[in-house]
Chains A and B, each alone.
Chain A
Amino acid sequence: MSNEENNKEINELLRQALAPLRAPELRRDLWPQMLCKLDEQPPRVPWFDWALAAILCAVLLLFPGAIPALLYHL
């Protein structure tokens, strides 16, 4: 069997295994859920993360030679 025929067979089987969703309907209005999301407070960055970022900046300023090593390990 050629690759093309093989691919066609796989495509056909795929459509049988995972049938296409013809015109899937949204069953409810999502606006109330959207409003709840809009009302949520933006996530706050913990003070510990700010402290770590500050320490990292200080280290990089004092030891610029560490920048390539840091980039290597990222």
Chain B
Amino acid sequence: MELLERFAGGDLEAFEALFRQHQKEVYSWIVRIVRDSGIAEDLTVETFWRIYRARDRFHPAANFRAWARRIATNAALDHLRTARREIELPEDLAGAGAADPAVRRETLEQIQRAFFQLSAKYRLVATLALIEEEPYDKIAEAVGIPAALVKVRVFRAVRVLRKKLHSLGAEVGAK
């Protein structure tokens, strides 16, 4: 019997095999969204927990990878909605050292602050589209919305970010 059929039938060994096959990819997707390795590990386990509980609804002919990514995205989104809005980024993930020397550190901090004030759904698409530069259709599939709506959310996220930066007094693209 195929691995996915065995998994859908509740076989724990099949689930373990799928877990080991996909845990790195799921983690890699989640950490890009939440930008914290510890939280991403917890959410990876949470994702597979949701996958295991939903095994009855999984059709073995379906694309397990895409299904897992969608569940992972939902888990990450739930985290963004409920977690305290972090202002300080973990040092290993913040990437502050990559800043252009011509740009003032203060402006970058204001951008970080403004970004973490965005609502979860905007932060999710903005992170994936603008920072990680993932294609719109891949984001759309992961979020479960049309690609056109992803574009709209990215556009709105940038607009909100611009307003927040303006209110914070950042010198960015003064009109």
Contact = CB atoms under 8 A, between A and B. Distances in A.
A72 interface: no
A18 interface: yes
Contacts of A7: 158, 162, 173
A4 to B, nearest CB: 10
Given A9-B173, A26-B27, A34-B19, A15 B37 contact: no
Contacts of A17: 95-96, 99, 108-109, 111-112, 115
Q: How large is the interface on A (under 10, 10 to 19, 20 to 34, 35 or more residues)?
A: 20 to 34
Interface of B: 12, 16, 19-20, 23-24, 27-28, 31-32, 35, 37, 40-41, 44-46, 48-49, 52, 89, 93-96, 98-100, 103, 107-109, 111-112, 115, 126-127, 130-133, 158, 161-162, 165, 172-175
A18 B113 CA distance: 11
B37 A18 contact: no
A5 B105 CA distance: 21
A72 to B, nearest CB: 25
Interface string A11-23: 1011111111101
